Chains A and B, each alone.
Chain A
Amino acid sequence: MSVVVKYNHLPRVIKALPREVDRAVDKTGNEGAEIARQLAPVRSGILVGTTEGKDRGRLHAEIWSGVYRGHGFYAGFVEFGANQPGGHAQPYMIPTAHLLERVLVRNVTDAVKDACDV
């Protein structure tokens, strides 16, 4: 007598995948904000204080630094430079994004494994 056992976990994996990957994206955004805060040039501390990760919905996270027309409005000038003397660029957001490429791959890989571990 032989016994054949058939598993089909695919529906459960498909259901878990978006949730796990979304979590990975949010996690990457928060990790990115932490990296950016470490790389940001510090004079008054405003850039560090206004740099944060934001969950922008499904599979979407953003990292913000400075407040538009508010504290740290000059973040773009710090990143890309200004015409004024001493206004040379001191990039910190682009290095963060560059580092996050690998972090995102790792986090999403882990999320796919978690989704499959049903």
Chain B
Amino acid sequence: MSSGMETVEIVDRWLFETLSGDAALMELIGGDDQLISTLAKAGVKPPYVVWFMSSERDLSVVGGIRSQVDTIYTVKAVGEGATWEKVKPIAHRIDQLLDMQDVTLPYGTVSCRRQTIVQYPEVDQATQFRHLGATYRIYANSL
């Protein structure tokens, strides 16, 4: 049985702890102020890492009891520049930290698998930005 709001209480928390706890990633982006959950903080300049829930559904067992949640999260690096060079090491590190993770935490269990790469450029007033990351399927249970 799983309870609570697993996306906020388990998945978001695990993502922040995992990403902010990695010294290599922090060095690449310049600290955990550059980690953004869903909505950008004012004044944050690239490069930064942003994640958000793309989709969620509950998985229930006999009796309608929720056993876990099945979520899809997008986690990506955003950088300024006309090539992928700046965001590539960041996205690569994110993938090393998140893909194929099955962890039991004091507040729940998490199972994470990469699904698809997310990659696109953006031009804003002649300035190019690059978005590179992936969608991850994350199953979570509150124990």
Contact = CB atoms under 8 A, between A and B. Distances in A.
Interface stretch (A19-27, A40-48, A53-61, A83-91): A83-91
B57 A99 contact: yes
Interface in A76-102: 76-77, 80-85, 87-89, 91, 94-95, 97-99
Chain B CB count within 10 A is highest, among A76, A77, A98, for: A98
B50 interface: yes
Contacts of B84: none
B35 interface: no
Contacts of B118: 80
Contacts, number: 49
Contacts of B54: 89, 91, 94-95, 98
A85 to B, nearest CB: 7
A94 B52 contact: no
A81 B54 CA distance: 11
Nearest to A76: B120
Interface string A64-82: 0000000000001100111
A30 B2 CA distance: 34
A94 B55 contact: yes
Interface of B: 38-40, 46, 50, 52, 54-57, 70, 72, 74, 76, 78, 118, 120, 122, 124, 129, 131, 135
28 contacts: A76-B120, A77-B122, A80-B74, A80-B118, A80-B120, A80-B131, A81-B50, A81-B131, A83-B122, A83-B129, A85-B40, A87-B40, A88-B40, A89-B52, A89-B74, A91-B52, A91-B54, A94-B54, A94-B55, A94-B72, A94-B74, A94-B135, A95-B54, A95-B55, A98-B55, A98-B56, A98-B57, A99-B57
Interface of A: 76-77, 80-85, 87-89, 91, 94-95, 97-99
